Amino acid sequence: MRILVTGGAGFIGSHLIDRLMQQGHDVVCLDNFYTGHKRNLQPWMGHHNFELIRHDITEPIRLEVDQVYHLACPASPVHYQYNPVKTIKTNVMGTLNMLGLAKRVKARFLLASTSEVYGDPEVHPQPEEYRGSVNPIGIRSCYDEGKRVAETLAFDYHRQNDVDIRVARIFNTYGPRMLENDGRVVSNLVVQALRGDALTVYGDGSQTRSFCYVSDLVEGLMRLMNGNYIGPVNLGNPGEYTILQLAQTIQQMVNPGTSVKFEPLPQDDPRRRKPDITRAKTHLGWEPTISLDEGLERTIADFRDRVTPPTSQPESVASF
């Protein structure tokens, strides 16, 4: 099968390409390298089944493929807020272009949407039926509302043009190949701990998140793509942790001598985040298998190879 992965040089996209290549598919990776890196694709460079195209999906492109995994879009607040107009153009114009491609060649199309469509939720945990509580003019709305429009486009192309779609709502995902500077909580805390810096917790740390290891997520995406269920379907780990709990766990695993510092909570930061994965269990036979401790060990090991440790420990620190 010939499969297109947009954003394939990124964190999740490159892990997905690993699986697809291992299964023997012909894979086309489309990426403009805004947050993706060629090093993530190094094992497949020059492979006869792999093709890498540098392209910005806000511009049309003609390709012949059987499936489209549409993952292209910066997903961390640091990157999507750096150029919010570009972010929403990627979500709207980019999704239009990829749906148009899928329509022309009759390819199955999977949209990587996000738990951010639920905003700061008033329902907990979040089922797919919940319509969300999103600020349409906030600093996060270029991503949140952009993904909501992308879902609208996918379902309208399905209803109007009979495009075969799948929609996944991805919750917090972590693992090897995360960027050191992507602003996500796991990478932030791990990098700070490895460098001997104080671990930054925003607010009082009572806000919650659910953390899914990347291999579990990729398995869910592939089951959704190759199954009969359209979605939307939540893909995430229902284990719920406060940010302070996560910081303390990483502190003990990496560097118990580091301190924890508290900073003001960012605007529109969700207070709670936990997926209801009943649909995924029912329609995909999927649920996460990697525990947080195991996933963090693998993630920390990957960062150790890339992060320069401190030359000396701080003289005086407070720890939990």
Using the predicted structure, report yes or no on whether residue 317 has a pLDDT greater than 60.
no
**Closest listed residue to residue 234, CA positions, set 165, 170, 150:** 170
Cα–Cα distance measured from residue 258 to residue 261, given in angstroms and rounded to the nearest whole number: 10
Mean pLDDT on 206-231: 96
pLDDT, tens only, 38-69 = 999 999 999 999 999 999 999 999 999 999 99
Confidence label for 268 from pLDDT (cuts 50, 70 and 90) = low
Q: Which amino acid is at 19?
A: R
Cα–Cα distance measured from residue 25 to residue 20, given in angstroms and rounded to the nearest whole number: 6
Question: Is residue 95 domain-resident?
Answer: yes
Using the predicted structure, report yes or no on whether residue 318 has a pLDDT greater than 60.
no
Question: Is residue 167 domain-resident?
Answer: yes
**Closest listed residue to residue 109, CA positions, set 236, 260, 6, 234:** 6
Mean pLDDT on 295-315: 78
Domain span at residue 95 reads 2-173+214-235
Task: Give the number of domains in the chain.
Answer: 1
Question: Is residue 231 domain-resident?
Answer: yes
**Structure letter (DSSP) for residue 47:** -
Cα–Cα distance measured from residue 38 to residue 311, given in angstroms and rounded to the nearest whole number: 30
Question: Is residue 219 domain-resident?
Answer: yes
Question: Is residue 156 domain-resident?
Answer: yes
pLDDT, tens only, 113-153 = 999 999 988 999 999 999 988 989 989 889 999 999 999 99
Question: Is residue 179 domain-resident?
Answer: no
Confirm whether 130 is a catalytic residue: no
* Token pair of 288 as six digits: 């996460």
- Residues 163 and 230: beta-carbon distance below 8 Å: no
Question: Is residue 80 domain-resident?
Answer: yes
Collapsed DSSP state (helix, strand, coil) of residue 266 = coil
- What is the percent of the chain with per-residue pLDDT over 70, rounded to a whole number? 96
Average pLDDT value over all residues in the chain: 92
pLDDT of residue 310: 62
Question: Is residue 257 domain-resident?
Answer: no
Using the predicted structure, report yes or no on whether residue 312 has a pLDDT greater than 60.
no
Of 143, 157, 213, 241, the catalytic one is 143
CATH number of 34's domain: 3.40.50.720
- The residues facing 7 across adjacent strands are none
Strands 241-242 and 208-209: antiparallel
Write phi, then psi, for 201 (nearest 5 degrees). -120, 130
